[in-house]
Amino acid sequence: MRRIVLFVAIIVISSCSKKEEMPEGLLSKEQMVKVLIEVHLNEAKLNQLRVPRDSTAKVYEIMERELLKHQGIEDSVYRKSFQYYLDRPMLMEEVYTVVVDSLSLRERLLNTK
């Protein structure tokens, strides 16, 4: 299933992206999509917990740190990359289009089981 989602993400990104030079040391669109999908899945898990908001924030920080570690991404690289995409709304829209489509596909696949 992950392969299907990643394949769809790569196709969508490559088909609708302009070839702007990405500065060194930032995450590519594909990497950003992959990280953001996991970020949103982690957020969904936390939203299901019945814990105070301040506790959720602490747990989220730990989950985010573990996610980045697992993906082999430094926190500073993720933050700089996120800011880079935020500063370029068209690029961020492209990234989030793939993120939303991938999460929707996952949900549909889970609901058909």
Helix segments in the chain, DSSP class H = 2-16, 29-47, 53-71, 75-86, 89-111
23 in Cβ contact with 112 (< 8 Å) = no
Return mean pLDDT, the chain.
86
pLDDT the model gives residue 22: 82
**50-66 pLDDT, tens per residue?**
888 888 888 889 999 99
Enumerate long-range contacts of 20-25, CB under 8 Å, 24 or more apart: 20/88, 20/91, 23/84, 25/77, 25/80
Low-confidence ranges of the chain (pLDDT < 50): none
What is the reported pTM? 0.77
Residues belonging to the chain:
113
Give the model's pLDDT for residue 98: 97
